[in-house]
């Protein structure tokens, strides 16, 4: 274990409320981020705009890639996380439900943990492969059940 800082890049569809793309790196840079947006969006013409913060990782390479794809960028105001509430909610959920209970061993491990996203959990619950409790219209899944499912998949 190296205990280094890892960065997660994700693209969330507001129309479908699902995670379209996720990747992890220890050393993010402009060209890596630009490539991630291309991998996430591809040539999907349904995407009209990209809401993002003003992090330094987005540079001219990222801007030109997004503009070339025909996507309009909407930048949130500095220090205004409430302007991108869906992304902030996903980050908070990942922290509370996954990362607070696990020691991340590396990039691949974190990518695997983040890959067990809400849509995957919903699909597993509907097929009866994951123990869950339905409260109102929300599904509550114990972290131990997700960990057990991941363990079974890796065997």
In a domain, 140, yes or no: no
Cα–Cα distance, 18 to 12 (Å, whole number): 6
In a domain, 31, yes or no: yes
Whether residue 135 has pLDDT greater than 90? no
- What's the confidence (pLDDT) of residue 3? 79
Which pLDDT tens digit goes with each residue over 78-127?
A: 988 888 888 888 888 788 878 888 888 888 888 888 876 555 665 666 66
- What's the confidence (pLDDT) of residue 136? 47
Which residue has better confidence, 13 or 62? Answer: 62
In a domain, 98, yes or no: no
Mean pLDDT, rounded, of the chain? 80
Torsion angle, alpha carbons of 117, 115, 83, 79, to 10:
130
In a domain, 129, yes or no: no
Structure tokens at 103: 């020691």
Torsion angle, alpha carbons of 40, 50, 113, 126, to 10:
-90
Which residue range(s) make up the domain with 43?
7-84
- What's the confidence (pLDDT) of residue 29? 93
Q: What is the number of structural domains in the chain?
A: 1
DSSP state of 6: -
- What's the confidence (pLDDT) of residue 132? 52
Cα–Cα distance, 140 to 134 (Å, whole number): 6
In a domain, 96, yes or no: no
Tell me the CATH number at 29.
3.30.420.10
Q: Which of 70-79, 88-97, 145-154 has the lowest mean pLDDT?
A: 145-154
**At 130, is the pLDDT very low, low, confident or very high (cuts 50, 70, 90)?**
low
């Amino acid at each position: 274990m190296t205990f280094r800082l890892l960065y997660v890049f994700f693209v969330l569809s507001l129309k479908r409320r699902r995670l379209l793309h996720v990747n992890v790196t220890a050393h993010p840079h402009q060209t890596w981020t630009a490539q991630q947006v291309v991998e996430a969006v591809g040539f999907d013409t349904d995407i009209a705009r990209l809401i993002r913060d003003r992090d330094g990782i987005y540079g001219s390479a990222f801007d030109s890639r997004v503009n070339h794809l025909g996507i309009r960028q909407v930048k949130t105001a500095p220090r205004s996380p409430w302007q991108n509430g869906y992304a902030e909610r996903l980050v908070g959920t990942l922290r509370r439900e996954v990362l607070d209970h696990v020691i991340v061993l590396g990039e691949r491990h974190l990518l695997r943990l983040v890959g067990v996203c809400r849509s995957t959990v919903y699909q597993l619950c509907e097929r009866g492969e994951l123990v869950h409790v339905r409260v109102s219209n929300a599904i509550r899944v114990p972290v131990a059940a997700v960990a057990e499912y991941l363990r079974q998949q890796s065997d």
